[in-house]
Amino acid sequence: MMNHNTASSLASRQRLALEVNGEPADALVDTYKTLLELLREDLQLTGTKHGCELGECGACAVLLDNEPVLSCLVLGVECEGRQVTTIEGLQGDTALHPLQDAFADLGASQCGYCTPGILITAKALLDREPRPSRAQIKDALAGNLCRCTGYLQIIEAVEKGALECARKGVK
Amino acid sequence: MSVPTRNGVIGVARRRVDGRAKVTGQTRFADDLTLPRMLHCKLLRSSVPHARIVRLDTSKAAAHPGVHLVLTGETFPDCLRGVAGEPRRARALP
């Protein structure tokens, strides 16, 4: 990335076409790069966070064909022709997604590093279970680490977001 | 939990000023910044606590493609601060 003579120029590259946040995206990417690196370094979508790179923290969660995945464990070249949704694509044209409003209103985001991954994971939960129980929320977020909030605000924000989604008819 | 007050501020939940940025992924953390001519730094730390560093061979690291500079304790001969302020003869990075 920073030097022209680094290992990246020695690696093979591949042209990729995929859909990111509803828009076509096209990049010439190093084949060793993960989806996380593809998003952050090649597409400049830095909202998706680089946490542990081991699949343990959930900070890099994105939706791949509407299913939550850890983008640090997916290779970019696996995503040819697929749909990716990141935190940058969660809000509507004019308003925040109700989950985003609830997280901001209830203090569910403090330092904010885990927030994109948690919002994406919560969105996936609401897609399959629009009225989740508290146990279902805890279960869905079990793979997302937050070191600030103690989780209670996050769980309450997902509950509020679910109610607001139902009330406003937002997906 | 909100308590009615005359001024409408005390006891009323308020969004963080950066709340919106954080829930939309717009907040820039250190790892999100890219600056012109930016270099990345990698720290190599001892795998053994309180060990004495007898010798450091950085030749392979320095010769690695893309590496601009390798720094060791030898670069800072006057810096004697070690663990708990203990002076050292060793050539470790502080």
ipTM of the complex: 0.90
Q: Which of A142, A87, A132 is nearest to A109 (CA)?
A: A87
Contact residues on chain B for A42, CB-CB shorter than 8 A: none
Question: Within 10 Å of residue B88's Cβ, how many Cβ atoms?
Answer: 15
The reply to whether residue A104 touches residue B28, judged by beta carbons under 8 angstroms, is no
Q: How far apart are CA A62 and CA B74, in angstroms?
A: 45
**What is the SS3 assignment for A132?**
coil
Contacts of A111 (CB under 8 A, 6+ apart): A147, A148
**Antiparallel, parallel or unpaired: β A23-30 and A61-64:** unpaired
Place of tokens 């995503």: A79
Full pLDDT tens readout for chain A, 171 residues: 444 445 545 569 999 999 999 999 999 999 999 999 999 999 999 999 999 999 999 999 999 999 999 999 999 999 999 999 999 999 988 899 999 999 999 999 999 999 999 999 999 999 999 999 999 999 999 999 999 999 999 999 999 999 999 999 988
B18 shares contact with chain A (CB less than 8 Å): yes
Q: How far apart are CA A127 and CA A171, in angstroms?
A: 7
Which pTM was predicted? Answer: 0.82
DSSP letter assigned to residue A83: E
